[in-house]
């Protein structure tokens, strides 16, 4: 069994800051900001004291609604030091979703930026709690969101009714080291320390309760699989509010004394500039991010020769994209990770020494300390290698449960502690897994089970196709038909007939898309997951398939 780390999230940073005090910890080239691990830990301690001064106690839920600003990472460790639970709010949320999360999570404090893309966060929050503008900072009283008392603004001007983040750090000077140490001593590695809301690709988002033990070890083993050391430098364009950012990036880095170099809001040009300028050795991203970087008109101008590894994950990795990342971005040791928020999030990962074939055709094998099995969907029996069933996982990384949702928790974690992922997979005799689809995403056409991934992988091989999503739409005769939404490469044209012709004779007729739509983008969750149910809903309307 792999040796697990025994630190809390706050304790991990203390340990690494003592071990690599002068290493770069957090670098924002555009802001001219560069903290060593010693400086970063000191700042986190200062803010932790400020949180205590604000009246935040161990076990209190504190929410953050922001893109990848430096304060996000500071708060992640500062809150952890005093045992406060960080509730991560999706950057794409609007009023109804914000109100739902603030209420469901019982958050007492909200940390927020001014805006993100086209959403004015201040206006959005004021719509949810109109009393905010006239209330004294820290004394909010609102019947709709009764738990929320304090709003802390990250940025220069401070809107009415809010405190400023800089002021909270300043308040920390009124708290002694001894007071902080006394609180830190009460924080246990098995306490919930983060609550991440599942992206809600189905139904209402659920608050996934994750402990220090879950997160520290998942981050550590994921870093180990990339062979991270204190010499590595990771470019982070994936959002912090999602496990990809906070665990696969931040904790994988911090557990190894690796430098974190975030990109605040994803922009392919900024990613390329950051990698070159900071001599990054690793970069993370969902496939759509890698596609945007590889297809950027100025791609060839950048020196990316320092790159070695990273993670392509978040949705299924197209083989062609992975091959180009290896060849054109020097990512010879890039890995892919499979998991979900409920497993902190990593369950399986490819290894740096795996062949390109394994890295493009599988999501790797179980992470150290994790158990994986494939079970029969009908009867739950464990299946032998090569048989398709539901992937189940067990180990240190399985969540405590869904916040205030015991029935929902019992649906996914069985009495033996196995997490049922809802994903279909096949495992080979060496333990390498292929994800073949979601149990709910499978298309059933005239009794034939169709797995969208198989058709997607095939269509990726067409030279004009940049990205493709396959999903089922209702059909009176067959039950369901296959539909493709295709993003073309820049400057090319293609017809529906061309797509069908390309498939003929190469894949079974029943798998050839009956409907083809050319699109400029896909509806996504802010963490980069494509929402196929929305594509399906749009198609039903456009094709008049309501009946």
pLDDT by 10s per residue, the chain, length 547: 689 999 999 999 999 999 999 999 999 999 999 999 999 999 999 999 999 999 999 999 999 999 999 999 999 999 999 999 999 998 888 888 899 999 999 999 999 999 998 889 999 999 999 999 999 999 999 999 999 999 999 999 999 999 999 999 999 999 999 999 999 999 999 999 999 998 544 457 899 999 999 999 999 999 999 999 999 999 999 999 999 999 999 999 999 999 999 999 999 999 999 999 999 999 999 888 999 999 999 999 999 999 999 999 866 677 889 999 999 999 999 999 999 999 999 999 999 999 988 988 899 999 999 999 999 988 999 999 999 999 999 999 999 999 999 999 999 999 999 999 999 999 999 999 998 877 777 788 877 778 788 899 889 999 999 999 999 999 888 889 999 999 999 999 999 999 999 998 888 788 999 999 999 999 988 778 888 889 999 999 999 998 7
Angle between helices 9-19 and 70-81 (to 10 degrees): 110
Q: What angle do CA 479, 484, 489 make, to 5 degrees?
A: 180
Reply yes or no: is the peptide bond before residue 345 cis, omega within 30 of 0: yes
Half-sphere exposure of 487 (CA within 13 A, CB side): 13
pLDDT value at residue 377:
87
DSSP at 265? S
Q: Extract the tokens encoding 515.
A: 């409907």
pLDDT value at residue 201:
46
> How many whole angstroms from its chain centre is CA 445?
32
pTM for the whole thing? Answer: 0.88
Q: How far is CA 107 from CA 98, 188, 474, 514, in A?
A: 11, 21, 41, 47
Cβ count near 371 (within 10 Å): 13
Q: How would you class 292 by CB atoms within 10 Å of its CB: exposed for 0-12, middle for 13-18, buried for 19 or more?
A: buried
- Is residue 484 within 8 A of residue 468, CB to CB? The reply is yes
Map out the domains of the chain with their CATH numbers.
Answer: 9-197 (3.40.50.12780), 443-542 (3.30.300.30)
Q: Extract the tokens encoding 4.
A: 């697990």
pLDDT value at residue 315:
67
Dihedral, 300, 305, 307, 313 alpha carbons, nearest 10:
30
Q: How far apart are the first and last CA of the chain?
A: 54
pLDDT value at residue 199:
58
Q: Which residues share a beta bridge with 484?
A: 470, 516
- Is residue 473 within 8 A of residue 481, CB to CB? The reply is yes
pLDDT value at residue 145:
96
């Amino acid at each position: 069994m792999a040796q697990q780390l025994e630190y809390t999230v706050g304790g991990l940073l203390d340990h690494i800051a003592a071990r690599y005090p002068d290493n770069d910890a957090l670098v924002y080239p555009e802001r001219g900001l560069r903290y060593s691990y010693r400086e970063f830990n000191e700042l986190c301690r200062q803010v932790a004291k400020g949180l205590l001064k604000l009246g935040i106690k161990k076990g209190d839920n504190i929410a953050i609604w922001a893109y990848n600003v430096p304060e996000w990472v500071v708060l992640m460790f500062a809150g952890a030091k005093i045992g406060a639970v960080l509730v991560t709010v999706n950057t794409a949320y609007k009023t109804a979703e914000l109100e739902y999360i603030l209420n469901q999570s019982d958050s007492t404090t909200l940390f927020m930026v001014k805006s993100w893309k086209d959403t004015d966060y201040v206006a959005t929050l004021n719509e949810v709690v109109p009393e905010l503008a006239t209330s004294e900072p820290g004394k909010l009283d609102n019947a709709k969101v009764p738990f929320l008392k304090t709003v802390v603004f990250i940025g220069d001007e401070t809107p009415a009714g809010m405190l400023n983040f800089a002021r909270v750090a300043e308040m920390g000077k009124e708290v002694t080291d001894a007071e902080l140490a006394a609180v830190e001593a009460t924080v246990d590695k098995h306490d919930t320390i983060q609550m991440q809301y599942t992206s809600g690709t189905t139904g209402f988002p659920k608050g996934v309760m994750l402990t220090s033990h879950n997160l520290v070890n998942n981050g550590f083993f994921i870093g180990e699989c990339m062979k991270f050391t204190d010499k590595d430098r990771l470019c982070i364009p994936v959002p912090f509010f999602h496990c990809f950012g906070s665990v696969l990036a931040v904790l994988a880095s911090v557990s190894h004394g690796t430098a974190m170099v975030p990109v605040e809001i994803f922009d392919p040009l900024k990613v390329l500039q950051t990698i070159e300028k900071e001599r990054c050795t690793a970069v993370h991203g969902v496939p759509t991010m890698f596609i945007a970087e590889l297809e950027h008109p100025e791609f060839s101008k950048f020196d990316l020769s320092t790159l070695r590894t990273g993670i392509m994950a978040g949705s299924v990795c197209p083989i062609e994209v992975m091959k180009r990342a290896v060849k054109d971005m020097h990512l010879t040791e890039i890995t892919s990770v499979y998991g979900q928020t409920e497993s902190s999030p990593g369950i399986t990962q490819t290894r740096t020494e795996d062949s390109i074939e394994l890295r493009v055709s599988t999501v790797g094998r179980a992470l150290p300390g994790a158990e994986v099995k494939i079970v029969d969907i009908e009867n739950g029996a464990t299946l032998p290698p090569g048989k398709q069933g539901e992937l189940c996982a067990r180990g240190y990384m399985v969540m405590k449960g869904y916040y205030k949702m015991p029935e929902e928790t019992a649906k996914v974690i069985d009495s033996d502690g196995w997490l049922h992922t809802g994903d279909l997979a096949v495992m080979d005799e060496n333990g390498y897994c292929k994800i073949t689809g979601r149990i709910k995403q499978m298309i059933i056409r005239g009794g034939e089970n169709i797995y969208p991934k198989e058709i997607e992988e095939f269509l990726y091989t067409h030279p004009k196709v940049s990205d493709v999503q396959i999903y089922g739409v209702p059909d009176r005769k067959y039950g369901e038909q296959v539909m493709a939404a295709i993003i073309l490469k820049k400057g090319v044209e293609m017809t529906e007939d061309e797509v069908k012709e390309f498939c003929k004779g190469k894949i079974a007729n029943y798998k050839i898309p009956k409907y083809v739509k050319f699109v400029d983008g896909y509806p996504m969750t802010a963490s980069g997951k494509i929402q196929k149910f929305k594509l399906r809903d749009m198609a039903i309307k456009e094709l008049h398939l309501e009946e």
